[in-house]
Amino acid sequence: MDDRFADVTDIARPRLLLIDGHSMAYRAYFALPVDKFATTTGEPTNAVHGFISMLATLLRVEEPTHVAVAFDAGSTTFRTVRFPQYKGTRDATPEQFKGQVPLIKEVLTSMRIPFLEKDMFEADDILATLSSQADALGMEVLVCSGDRDSLQFVNENVTVLYPVKGVSELARMTPDAVQVKYGVAPHQYPDLAALVGETSDNIPGVPGVGPKTAAKWINQFGGLEEILTHADEIGGKAGESLRAHLDQVRLNRELNHLLTDIELPFGPDDLRAQPWDREAMNAVFDALQFRTLRERLFAMHPAGQDSEQEAAQAAPEVEVVPLAPGVLAQWLDARADQTLGLDVAGRAVPAGGDAWAFAIADGADGAGSAIALDFADLTAADDVVLGTWLADATRRKVAHGGKATWHELAARGYDLRGIVFDTELAAYLCFPDQRGYDLGELVERHLGHELRALETDAGDQGSFDLSVGEGNQDSEANRLAVRAAALTDLAEVLGGELKDREAADLLATLELPLSEVLAQVERRGIAMDVDYLRDLEKHFSEIVAEAARSAYEVIGREVNLGSPKQLQEVLFDQLAMPKTKKIKTGYTTDAAALADLFAKTEHPFLEFLLAHRDATRLRQTVEGLLKAVADDGRIHTTFQQTIAATGRLSSTEPNLQNIPIRTEAGRRIRRAFVVGDGFETLLTADYSQIEMRIMAHLSGDTALIEAFRSGEDLHSYVGSRVFGVPTTEVTSAQRSKIKAMSYGLAYGLSSFGLSKQLGIEVGEAAKLMDDYFERFGGVRTYLTGVVDEARATGYTATIMGRRRYLPDLTSDNRQRREMAERMALNAPIQGSAADIIKVAMLGVEREIAERGLRSRLLLQIHDELVLEVGAGELTELEALVREQMGSAADLLVPLDVSVGVGASWHDAGH
């Protein structure tokens, strides 16, 4: 044994973690549902997510000092040369798994974790070699592998972590554990496997010889060689079978022997854990859209702890000035010509929020100063001074998440104006594919230092210590002040990024003003008919119960309709239905599979099961709405500006964008959204086919432009050109195909995707697309050109100049490249639609204010605006809304606006 680690007194014994990459990635693929782990463009990421999640757990729990991952280099190895049938019965690699291993390698590269592969050898041989070398050096070795062959190199220094369930539960296979489970010592396991065979590797064993018999022989004779030598002495049918298969057993032992002396570019000493490349990790996690997993990893190693160099990069000190009562005005006036950073500690919700402390800073850079005060400690005079400063639009302020800050301050009765820069919105415009814009993360990424988190709980103001003084640099006052000071520095850096991307105007004239409008909209909320909602909840609950009873009657017993395992037993065992897609736990029972199964079988059990699921989902939606009704009887959703990379707004707490409208049952929910007291009615207005109109404008296709200018039904008009029939003779089925294809083309839909969507053959879908492009050649030219242009420039842009940078357009990884190509197709269209509705909102809100109307904007859902109409203002408001929405963009085709009026959101539909 190498004596470098033999006498360890002041340092921990080195621990090497080795991972079988393909084995773990494959297990992760089957452990996580592919339909639940995919990017917004539909690219599967379940294997990547599961693998990295497992890796994170191993790093946290095992705390290795050294780490590496081994991959198979290909399907041809020295074993397949020796025995061509080796692993020959394995299923073809799932299509949705392909391309995920290269993504895993990208993540490993960003984490600076070495990965190794070697032509003609398997990952197991790499693991065996490194394990043997590390054992000789006196290191502790952990090998994470789902291949039982790895058990052969288990000893007192080497433990195999063998997956028991997916990749989340691992068994520690020590020498004792191997002996207990298999009845032989680890070094004898290959002897046992040679006798029994290995189904997964297509290695045939001795017929009639199982693990217990093999173990008995090994313990009786001492090993395989002795067993083969004394084969004539073994009686019974098992002995006869052994003697008939001696050559196969010898070959098996040759195949399952793992090599411990292959030449590798790295040795155990070279595998010491390194500081992560956080910038590279951010980039790859942004592309994979792993927000939560990234936060989990970064929480394991906070910024500044990865190396001594990074640890030295603490946040610059900021002088926190203790202010005597009455001095606030003087401090602010002395900085009247400066842009100041403002940070508020509080709870930012549209209704029921609060704020308990604030900091204002004039920058950092070693010379900055700041104040940090508790609102409760302000004198009446200072409170007036603060309120005046906050409401003064000429006093320039930088905030992070200005809308949230507005809500926090509004809860205290303040009005916030004068935000000239919002670092959250700026970062979003510059890097729209990031999955998060936390201030600390942005400061770390762009300023190179760490922000210490505020220790107060979001709902516990009492723990907030704002004492200021020498020796109290780590107080909450100092932390809050450092955050405020960082805002001005971050604004300078992001301002340069905005300029480089020609996006400064988008921030100043669109996103910042919209943030103020959204704050007002969220504060207003929308009135709810709570009694109606309760009745609706009861109604859907009755449907759920009745559907369950009917389903039970069909099969003659009660089962848990929410249990995939019990449903599999009913569907495929009791009812012997055609099998759905194979998954790790059997056969899938997801919604799409069951709907497809019902279409094929029309079985009544499936009819009631699907009805049960639909009603359950509707009931849950209603329950969520009831919980969200505030004390004022209104729902105050939160609109998120920085979630969708295309620029679209999203709604949360509750999500009003998922209120179903395609079914009558779903539309009933919209009846609960009603006009509030003191107002006359609700008015809804939305754009008709805005994405197709943008397609016509961007492509300049004369036929498509004429379709909109003709005033005829778009899809019938297009269908008549594609199918060569008069508009009046386009069937509903033809119109549906055209509609699906027209919208699908805007999102990079392939002929395969179209065939799945329409339930037709791929060849028919391809011909449909060819016929479409023959009549609308400008669309084909545009779709091809937009990807080529994005590949040349690195980005796509909306009509208003919103850019989305897509570096993966030139990626060597096919999956990443095709993902980026789809983004390049839909970003200009979706993004332009998002920009247009935002411009319309600003125009509507501005005109209402300038005319002094009582009417007000309440919601923006997709391409629709919902307004509450003041008494006697309906005619003027409708004209105002039509004008502002219709003039929000200058397109080659008209922006058609539909308007409806009614006492509820449903009644105002059109």
Residue, of 53 and 401, whose pLDDT is higher: 401
Mean pLDDT of 155-180: 86
Residue-wise pLDDT for 708-736, tens only, equals: 888 878 888 888 888 888 988 989 888 88
Average pLDDT, the chain: 87
Instruction: Look at residue 87 in the predicted model and tell me its pLDDT.
Output: 67
Amino acid at 374: D
pLDDT tens string 559-582: 999 888 899 999 999 999 998 887
| Structure confidence by residue, pLDDT tens digits, 755-787 | 877 778 888 888 888 888 888 899 989 988 998
At 663 the pLDDT is 79
Answer left, alpha or beta for residue 280, where phi above 0 means left and psi between -120 and 50 means alpha: alpha
Residue with tokens 């009558």: 664
pLDDT of 469 strictly over 50: no
- Tell me phi and psi for residue 528, to 5 degrees: -125, 140
Sheet holding 897-902, edge to edge: 856-861, 864-869, 681-687, 897-902
Phi, psi of 172, rounded to the nearest 5 degrees: -90, 105
- Token couple for 614: 């639909």
Q: Is the peptide bond before 204 cis (omega within 30 degrees of 0)?
A: no
Q: What pLDDT band is residue 41 in, cutting at 50, 70 and 90? A: low
Q: Is 308 exposed, middle or buried, given 0-12, 13-18 or 19+ CB atoms closer than 10 A?
A: exposed
What pLDDT shows up at residue 459? 45
Reported for 606-614, long-range contacts at CB under 8 A and 24+ positions apart, including other chains, are 606/571, 608/547, 608/548, 608/550, 608/551, 608/554, 609/547, 609/551, 609/561, 609/567, 611/543, 611/547, 612/544, 612/547, 612/548, 612/551, 612/561, 613/561, 614/663, 614/665
pLDDT confidence of residue 12: 65
**What angle (nearest 5°) sits at the alpha carbon of residue 451, between those of residues 450 and 454?**
150
pLDDT beyond 60 at 303: no
**What kind of architecture, by CATH, is found in domain 691-831?**
Orthogonal Bundle (1.10)
Instruction: Kindly state the tokens that stand for 51.
Output: 């693998």
pLDDT band, residue 3 (cuts 50/70/90) = very low
Counting Cα atoms < 13 Å in the Cβ hemisphere of 798 gives 23
DSSP three-state, residue 213: helix
pLDDT of 339-375, one tens digit each? 999 999 998 888 878 999 999 999 754 457 899 999 9
Reading the block at residue 831, the tokens are 């993004």
pLDDT above 80: residue 193: yes
Question: What is the mean predicted confidence (pLDDT) over 426-439?
Answer: 88
Residues whose CB falls within 8 Å of the CB of residue 49, separated by 6 or more in sequence, listed in order = 28, 32, 37, 288, 290, 293
pLDDT confidence tier of residue 200, bands split at 50, 70 and 90: confident
The domain ranges of the chain are 3-181+258-271, 304-525, 527-635, 691-831
Instruction: Tell me if 737 sits within 8 A of 768, measured CB to CB.
Output: yes
Flag whether pLDDT at 28 surpasses 90. Answer: no
Which of residues 693 and 79 earns the better pLDDT score? 693
Q: What is the pLDDT of residues 94-151, one digit of tens each?
A: 877 878 988 999 999 999 999 999 888 888 899 999 999 999 999 999 999 988 888 9
Position 586 pLDDT exceeds 70: yes
Compute the distance between CA of residue 222 and CA of residue 187 in angstroms, rounded to an integer. 11
> Which DSSP string do the residues of 400-460 spell out, in sequence order?
SSHHHHHHHHHTTT-----EEEEHHHHHHHH-TT-S---HHHHHHHHHSSBPPPP-S-TT-
Q: Confirm if 129 and 143 have CB atoms less than 8 A apart.
A: no
In the three-class reduction of DSSP (H, G, I as helix; E, B as strand; rest coil), residue 2 is classed as coil
**Residue 154: how many CA atoms within 13 Å on its side-chain side?**
26
Containing 513, the helix (H) or strand (E) segment is helix 512-524
Does residue 609 surpass a pLDDT of 90?
yes
Band of pLDDT at residue 841, cut at 50, 70 and 90? very high
* Residue of 70 and 663 predicted with greater confidence: 70
Query: Using an 8 Å Cβ cutoff, are 410 and 353 in contact?
Result: yes
Q: How many CB atoms lie within 10 A of CB 675?
A: 22
The whole-number average pLDDT for the span 841-859 is 98
* The token pair that represents 523 in the structure block: 């504060």
> Which residue is associated with the tokens 């990635």?
25
The pLDDT value recorded for residue 166 is: 58
Q: Report the Cα–Cα distance between both ends of the chain, in Å, rounded.
A: 81
Distance, in Å, from the CA atom of 349 to the CA atom of 366, rounded to the nearest integer, reads: 34
Cβ atoms of 693 and 714 within 8 Å: the answer is no
Per DSSP (E only), the strands in 254-366 are 319-320, 340-347, 354-361
Q: How confident is the model at residue 460 (pLDDT cuts 50, 70, 90)?
A: very low
pLDDT score at 454: 56
Question: Is it the case that residue 308 has pLDDT exceeding 60?
Answer: no
> 168-191: per-residue pLDDT in tens?
678 899 999 999 999 999 999 988
Residues in CB range of 692: below 8 A, 6 or more apart: 704, 708, 714, 742, 743, 746
What fold is seen in the domain 3-181+258-271? Answer: Rossmann fold (3.40.50)
Q: Which residues pair with 173 in a beta bridge?
A: 160
Domains 3-181+258-271 and 304-525 share a fold: no
- Statement: the pTM of the whole predicted model exceeds 0.75: no
Band (pLDDT 50/70/90 cuts) for residue 503 is very high
How many C-beta atoms lie closer than 10 Å to residue 901's C-beta? 19
- Rg of the chain over all Cα atoms, to the nearest angstrom: 33
pLDDT band with cut points at 50, 70 and 90 for residue 89: low
Q: Does the pLDDT at position 10 exceed 60?
A: no
Looking at the chain, the whole-number percentage of residues with pLDDT higher than 90 is 49
What is d(CA 47, CA 50) in angstroms, rounded to the nearest whole number? 5
Domain 304-525 has CATH 3.30.420.10: yes
Query: Residue 466's pLDDT is what?
Result: 59
**Rounded-to-integer distance, Cα 417 and Cα 526, Å:** 24
* Digit-coded pLDDT (tens) for 11-20: 468 999 999 9
Q: How does residue 302 score in pLDDT terms, banded at 50, 70 and 90? A: low
Strands 140-144 and 158-165, by their bridges, are parallel
Q: Helix 732-745 to helix 762-775 angle, to the nearest 10 degrees?
A: 80
Q: Please give the CATH architecture assigned to the domain spanning 527-635.
A: Up-down Bundle (1.20)
